[in-house]
Amino acid sequence: MQEKSVITRSIEVAGGVHAPGHLGELTQIIDFDLVDAVLEETGTREKRLRLLPSRVVVYFVLALALLDRCSYRATWGKLTAALAGLCLTRPSISSLSRARRRVGVAPLRRLFETLAGAVGLLGQPGVFYRGLRTVAIDGTHLHVPDEEQVTWRYPTRVGDKLEFGYPLLRLLVMIECGTRALLAAAFGPETEGELAYAQRLLGVLDRTMLLLADAGFDAAEFLRDVGATGAQFLVRSSARRCPTIQRRLPDGSYLARIGYGSLPALILVRVIEAQVTVTLADGSLRREQWRLITSLTDHTRYPAHELVDLYHERWQAETTYFSIKATMLDGRVLRSRSIPGIEQEVYALLTAYQALIRAAADATCTQPGLDMDRISFTVLIDAAADTITTASGILPGSSTDLLGTIGHAALADLLPAWRRPRIKARSRKNPTSKYSPNAGQHPATTQTYTFHADITIFEKGLASRSRR
């Protein structure tokens, strides 16, 4: 007779009809008390006990975000796969859809607002620059279904001759650069510009922060509002701005004032202009002119060359979007086919993402000096999905090991300590892009590169950036 191994374990879940309501080990971050509290606060808790209680529905919606490849029925199957010994209901797809509508948007929005926030600690690599917590703001688009009940708010894109592609939802987030944790988010139709959404995120800024942003956020009114929060800023400026030099500084930067014609009181800023050279592995060169404007006017404490290097941290926002759009959504269209459903789904995506980042931060804290950039988001989401299927770690155990399955998986498969800078190969932003083809502006293959910046002053102004 062949030898056999028998493994037995006990699974602790909520009692009765609440048992399917969990998120595996992430339930320790989004725990029962928290979900019950937001349901109570938003007035969406059931008046009578149902076979699908509101708490279970919230966890189901979050599981849909983590298991985006799964259908409703498959997601419910994973939530209950390890609970075979319990007499649980197997709801129909229509029952799950009605339950989502009953719970609505408010609990998921409040859950995200509760979990959102910085997770980086003082001394953690990449989190602070000279005592200031570096944060970044940027926008992206998500595809929504081309359905009549959706397109009245998210209209189909229109070209010169015809409509094309899926309707777009504009999403803006503010992140902590060192950890890619979400501080705040705003979203809505693409017809409203990025600055309008960005204004809604300024409430999370304070005097301990340094905001990094691209040229789309260099409007004087926006920078004035950023300064009013007490935060500092480092923003790339467009070629349209023509600052007048008031005082040249020894490091090659200069002081100027902005806001002529738009502000009652001008803003004193420091301007850093640099000729940037990117040398690709195949020997080809790309040259760009950069103009950065910052409220950090002390050139001795904040040298120009450091700020040029620091501006690269803005790309952590792009990495955040890659994690959400490519890893979690896998490039797919949002599954919801109603406006409230879309809003609920987006908040669930953001909440699930933030829970994963908090799990990564907990793991990083066990190894002082570990850069959170080395934590693989793919490993995080795969490990979290496994704990949902096995119903592992739903409640804190008595073990002295505080890492758990997700933390151990993340630390066991760290990314390289130094990742070579690479430039991506692409010819379009995506197959249904509204932008013209940009072939020739990017290499045909992914390549490594070196970066060099010469601090200078463009006496004849800044050349316009190519449209891509």
Q: pLDDT class for 12, splitting at 50, 70, 90?
A: confident
Residue 173 contacts residue 347 (beta carbons within 8 Å): no
- pLDDT cut 90: percent of the chain above it: 70
Rounded to whole angstroms, the Cα distance separating 350 from 142 reads 13
Residue 136: per-residue pLDDT: 98
Rounded to whole angstroms, the Cα distance separating 426 from 444 reads 7
Query: pLDDT digit string (tens) for 145-196?
Result: 999 999 999 988 776 655 668 899 999 999 999 999 999 999 999 988 999 9
Residue 239: per-residue pLDDT: 83
Please give the structure tokens belonging to residue 189.
């139709």
Residue 447: per-residue pLDDT: 77
Judged against a pLDDT cut of 60, whether residue 431 lies above it is answered with: no
Which of residues 189 and 467 earns the better pLDDT score? 189
Judged against a pLDDT cut of 60, whether residue 433 lies above it is answered with: no
Q: pLDDT class for 299, splitting at 50, 70, 90?
A: very high
Judged against a pLDDT cut of 70, whether residue 284 lies above it is answered with: yes
Report how far apart the first and last C-alpha atoms of the chain are (Å, whole number).
68
Average pLDDT over residues 247-259: 95
Q: Which of 6-15, 260-269, 423-432 has the lowest mean pLDDT?
A: 423-432
Q: Which amino acid is at 274?
A: A
Judged against a pLDDT cut of 60, whether residue 459 lies above it is answered with: yes
Residue 441: per-residue pLDDT: 63
In whole numbers, what is the pLDDT of the chain averaged over residues?
89
Which of residues 274 and 280 earns the better pLDDT score? 274
Average pLDDT over residues 50-54: 89
Residue 468: per-residue pLDDT: 45
Count of positions (residues) in the chain: 468
Residue 257 contacts residue 266 (beta carbons within 8 Å): yes
Judged against a pLDDT cut of 80, whether residue 445 lies above it is answered with: no
Residue 436: per-residue pLDDT: 52
Query: pLDDT digit string (tens) for 92-136?
Result: 999 999 999 999 999 999 999 999 999 999 989 999 999 999 999
Q: Which residue has the tokens 């060169």?
A: 285
Query: pLDDT digit string (tens) for 331-369?
Result: 999 999 999 999 999 999 999 999 999 999 999 999 988
Query: pLDDT digit string (tens) for 136-146?
Result: 999 999 999 99
Q: pLDDT class for 298, splitting at 50, 70, 90?
A: very high
